[in-house]
Amino acid sequence: MKESAPKYADKESIESLIKKLNLPPLTPYSQDWEYTSADSSRVDEFITYYENNQLNKNEKFTLMIVIISSFDDYLSEGIETENNKLWNRIKQNLLQDYELHINTIHYWALDKSDLEDCFSITPYIREMRT
């Protein structure tokens, strides 16, 4: 039987990425660390790390959430200089590891919501699936 895709970041992958990428520490009160650690100024760096480093399945899963959340912030801030270039790299990695990221894709697609009530990245994610 095929192993199901992760739905949540695990503590081990979070702690590993904190060390590898100098991300905010995990505290006893941390909630949704993978979303709150997003940094729109580091999107390119995070994608490059994902593409060029040996990561286990859970690290890849967790880092992709940080990447998507960072790109969502990037779009929300109205920074439009690299949108297509960055999105194409993210999309390529999502498609390459599609089965691993299927739950993340569903989360950001918000299929049952109108686009006016969605994340900035939602139209990109939805376009990817058509």
| Backbone torsions φ then ψ of 31, nearest 5 degrees | -135, 130
pLDDT band, residue 127 (cuts 50/70/90): confident
Report d(CA 59, CA 63) in Å as an integer: 6
CB within 8 Å of 123: residues ≥ 6 apart: 115
What pLDDT, on a 0 to 100 scale, did the predictor assign at position 1? 36
CB 71 within 8 A of CB 90: yes
Q: What DSSP designation does 40 have?
A: G
Q: Which amino acid is at 73?
A: D
Report d(CA 103, CA 91) in Å as an integer: 15
Per-residue pLDDT tens digits for 40-98: 999 999 999 999 999 999 999 999 999 999 999 999 998 766 778 999 999 999 999 99
Mean pLDDT, the chain, rounded, equals 91
